Amino acid sequence: MIKAICAALCAALFLFGTPLSLMAQDITLTSRDSKVELSGTLLGFDGEFYRIETEYGELTLDGSGVLCSGPACPNLQDFVAELQISGAPTLGAVVLPALIEAFAQKNGYTTEREAGEDDTHFTYLIRRSADQKLAARFFFRVTNTDEGFADLLADEADIVMSLREIRPDERTRARDAGMGDMTGVNRSRVLGLDAIVPVVSASNPVQGISPADLARVLAGDITNWQTLGGPDVPIDLHLPDDRSGLSQAIVDQLLRVEELGDLSPQATRHPTPQALAQAVADDTFALGVTSYAERRGTQALLLTGSCGFAMQASRRTIKTEDYPLTAPMFLYFPARRLPRLAREFLAFTRGPAAQIVIRRSGFVDQTPEEIAVEEQGNRFANAIANAGTEITLGELQRMTATLTPMARLTTSFRFEAGSIRLDAQSRSNVQQLARALEVGRYDARRLLFVGFSDGDGPAEGNRNIALRRADAVRRAVSDAAVAANLARVELGVDAFGEAMPMACDESSWGRRANRRVEVWVR
């Protein structure tokens, strides 16, 4: 019986968004020839498909092939798309609203923002410009990343805004709930980039700090500025709210890498980035950790190393991920069908117009840029100065001859710790570069995937590992570019192992920064 019903009623079998305003009520769907009838509880309607709970389980049914009866049946003529968005305030307060307004302007809609029951809730009403009929309601709950994932797992959110990658337990629970693999290509997206930045007052004499020392400050092991080259004064530590995605990213990228414990209980926590920045700016001996976009009136410290490397957080170093504490801004959505207008909005967020909005909002966009060799600072000089005894003059000359006629793309690739799997940002970069190939952006040009490694182990072995990683990235991009004519572009691979370090190999974070695949273009 179930097969007969599906054959008559189901044009497709996939899940879609759950507008919460459609209360769970019984409906009856009848085929247009009246031969098949199916009753159940309406779980959602996206303007095209019904999702209902029946005695046979949850089913998705094409609305064009059935007639609906019952109090919960939606208005097919004036359907209003609804989308529940929950999570990080950094995205919810600035980036997503700006993107919604840009999307509306581009596609013939007007927007209106309605206040909610408190400061964490608001709604965007999207109307058709021609007749001012309501087309969509986007509901926001702006709290923190933890709450966003909790709403997702409770089936109370369609999109999660996050400043960290989904945790393994959250990923498992989502998969068990039928939401799919939330780290998959169609389940998560990097919207833009931010970074973890240590900041001080403009009057503080300290200019830089190593990531290892920063981790020890965060853990409470270093408590005096004198240890960092400053005066004999206690460090007043300021951190984001412990439930925020940024705070959790700080733990993941600093404390866990250095195998330290929890963040110091002596730190002052702040509910908003604005409050943290103001507190640090007003206190000469404060040290805060915030996001690149929220530095405000503070001074960002250089990240330093004993081998002489120093890295400043900037738009370019964050985009290339040369700055080691890059923090991607994620959107996560479960394996269910969203309303058409919501899908169109998400498609818009990938385009060049959206990247301009992200950049103007103070964050780092993902539009690929080409950096000529002369604009790359002292990278080649550092390569020569820091070359170990195993790096021959011939290899340095080969690297120089290969790369100097080319330009480096700001798109880079790195791998998860102890794994051959690309990290979340790099998986997003694969899709981005694949789309560029599909639209012919690099037709008649050469793209060279270049692998680099850390300095642990023999130089020849490191080069071989780097070459395999470069080829793995090339293959991932080629496989993702399903609509591209790859005969029009040359895709090559090369590797120079440990010949061009970006950071000191003395620390875990430095070795991770050095293990990368860059893309060069000619």
Place of tokens 């599906």: 6
- My answer on whether 287 and 400 are in the same domain is no
Per-residue model confidence (pLDDT) at position 402: 92
Report DSSP state, residue 80: -
Collapsing DSSP states into helix, strand and coil, what is residue 71? coil
Is residue 427 in some structural domain? yes
Q: Give 379's Cβ-side CA count (13 Å radius).
A: 20
* Gyration radius of the chain's alpha carbons: 26
Look up the domain containing 35 and give its range. Answer: 2-69
Which has the closest alpha carbon to 323: 377, 402, 276? 377
Measured CA to CA, the distance from residue 231 to residue 285 in angstroms comes to: 9
Per-residue model confidence (pLDDT) at position 264: 93
Measured CA to CA, the distance from residue 181 to residue 40 in angstroms comes to: 28
Per-residue model confidence (pLDDT) at position 354: 93
Measured CA to CA, the distance from residue 128 to residue 80 in angstroms comes to: 11
CATH number where 39 lies: 2.30.30
Measured CA to CA, the distance from residue 489 to residue 408 in angstroms comes to: 16
Per-residue model confidence (pLDDT) at position 418: 62
Residue 127's contacts (CB-CB under 8 Å, 6 or more residues apart) are 109, 110, 111, 112, 133, 134, 135
- My answer on whether 299 and 339 are in the same domain is no
Cα 512 to Cα 166, 232, 507: the distances in Å are 20, 33, 9
- My answer on whether 109 and 57 are in the same domain is no
Give the pair of three-digit tokens for residue 457: 């182990």
Helix (H) or strand (E) holding 346: helix 340-348
**133 DSSP β-pair partners:** none
Place of tokens 């408190």: 118
Final residue of a structural domain among 310, 344, 378: 344
* Residue 399 and residue 463 in contact, taking contact as beta carbons nearer than 8 Å: no
Is residue 360 in some structural domain? no
**Residue 299 neighbours by CB distance under 10 Å:** 16
The DSSP result for 380-436, as a single string, is HHHHHHT--TTS-HHHHHHHHHHHTTSEEEEEEE-B-TTSSSB-HHHHHHHHHHHHH
Is residue 152 in some structural domain? yes
Report DSSP state, residue 95: I
* Residue 320 and residue 414 in contact, taking contact as beta carbons nearer than 8 Å: no
Which has the closest alpha carbon to 102: 360, 278, 435? 360
Phi and psi of 243, rounded to 5°? -95, -5
Measured CA to CA, the distance from residue 453 to residue 439 in angstroms comes to: 32
Extract the residue ranges of the chain whose pLDDT is less than 50.
Answer: 1-23
Place of tokens 């996001």: 291
CATH number where 120 lies: 3.40.190
Which has the closest alpha carbon to 452: 461, 441, 463, 440? 463
CATH number where 302 lies: 3.40.190.10
Per-residue model confidence (pLDDT) at position 272: 87
Helix (H) or strand (E) holding 516: strand 516-521
Phi and psi of 220, rounded to 5°? 90, 10
Per-residue model confidence (pLDDT) at position 416: 76
Helix (H) or strand (E) holding 109: strand 109-115
Final residue of a structural domain among 284, 319, 354: 319
Which has the closest alpha carbon to 342: 85, 161, 522, 32? 85
- My answer on whether 132 and 274 are in the same domain is no
Per-residue model confidence (pLDDT) at position 70: 87
Is residue 228 in some structural domain? yes
- My answer on whether 380 and 511 are in the same domain is yes
Which has the closest alpha carbon to 317: 382, 377, 387, 373? 377
Is residue 245 in some structural domain? yes
* Residue 108 and residue 211 in contact, taking contact as beta carbons nearer than 8 Å: no
- My answer on whether 292 and 337 are in the same domain is no
Give the pair of three-digit tokens for residue 349: 């967020």
Per-residue model confidence (pLDDT) at position 200: 96
* Residue 482 and residue 185 in contact, taking contact as beta carbons nearer than 8 Å: no
Q: Give 161's Cβ-side CA count (13 Å radius).
A: 24
Collapsing DSSP states into helix, strand and coil, what is residue 288? strand
Give the pair of three-digit tokens for residue 454: 């850390």
- My answer on whether 386 and 476 are in the same domain is yes
CATH number where 417 lies: 3.30.1330.60
Max CA separation in the chain (angstroms): 85
- My answer on whether 279 and 404 are in the same domain is no
Give the pair of three-digit tokens for residue 97: 């609203």
Measured CA to CA, the distance from residue 218 to residue 386 in angstroms comes to: 30
Per-residue model confidence (pLDDT) at position 12: 37
Final residue of a structural domain among 292, 311, 344: 344
Is residue 502 in some structural domain? yes
- My answer on whether 198 and 249 are in the same domain is yes
**514 DSSP β-pair partners:** none
Say how many domains are in the chain.
Answer: 4
- My answer on whether 201 and 220 are in the same domain is yes
- My answer on whether 389 and 481 are in the same domain is yes
- Identify each DSSP E strand in 20-92 by its residue range: 26-31, 37-45, 49-54, 57-62, 66-69, 81-87
- My answer on whether 308 and 203 are in the same domain is yes
Measured CA to CA, the distance from residue 21 to residue 379 in angstroms comes to: 56
Is residue 74 in some structural domain? no
Is residue 140 in some structural domain? yes
